[in-house]
Amino acid sequence: MKKIYMLALAFMVLFSMTMSVEALEQKTINRQNGVSAYADWTQTTGDLTNDTFLSVTQSNIGIDIYLSICTYDYITGNGSCKSGEMINQDNVFSMDKKLDSASLKAVTIDLSEWTCDNTGMCLQTPAGTATIDATWTAAGKVSTSSYKWQSNDGNYIAKGSSSSSSRLATAQGTLNNDKLGTSSFGGMAKFKSVDITMTK
């Protein structure tokens, strides 16, 4: 019977020590994994230049799609830009594991435009919608990078690490059913990161 009491007491002490450590230490871990692709199409006709930029990032929160459409007149010096961003939860973006290719199915994005008057006051106004799709094809070798960091401040400790692989690419796409042709530049990437914060 004495051995049973001693064993129970040992478990109670061990449990108490574990609870004390957990009470003194708070830890938060944030992980982020994903893939992304971007492309820019620039077309010049006479004195007018049209620039379309598209970026797609798939991560834990969904698929973030950003689009900007800009025009610039070299004679008058006038220009305008429309842009829009959306978070899509559907399976509209895919990329192979070796960064050989990627594809974005047609999505429709709400656009807005910044307009400014002669006093410098600027307003963001709705500017219609745009439907875009794109495919990427690798055009270079895969490059990799990694990074680690740590910061200590008294009882507070923060540290993290990240790694990524990227590859240049060309893209083909259509904007509102009009072909954009081959992109001026583009790329694909995959990434992962972890951040840890602890307070003792």
Q: Which pLDDT does position 6 carry in this prediction?
A: 42
Residue 21 has pLDDT above 60, yes or no: no
In this predicted model, what pLDDT tens digit does every residue of 177-197 receive, in sequence order? 999 999 999 999 998 888 888
How many Å is the maximal CA-CA distance in the chain? 99
Average predicted confidence (pLDDT) for the chain? 85
194 against 58, higher pLDDT: 58
Rounded alpha-carbon distances, angstroms, from residue 73 to 49, 78, 103, 143: 7, 5, 32, 37
Half-sphere exposure of residue 141: CA atoms within 13 angstroms, side-chain side: 2
Highest mean pLDDT among 110-119, 145-154, 186-195: 186-195
Q: Which pLDDT score is estimated for 190?
A: 94
pLDDT of the residue at 51:
95
Confidence at residue 10, expressed as pLDDT on a 0 to 100 scale? 42
What pLDDT score does 105 carry?
97
Instruction: Give the residue-averaged pLDDT of 38-67.
Output: 94
Distance CA 171, CA 138 (A): 9
pLDDT higher than threshold 70 for residue 148: yes
Structural domain boundaries in the chain: 2-199
Other CB atoms within a 10 A radius of the CB of residue 171 amount to: 27
Q: DSSP letter at 184?
A: S
Confidence band for 12, pLDDT divided at 50, 70 and 90? very low
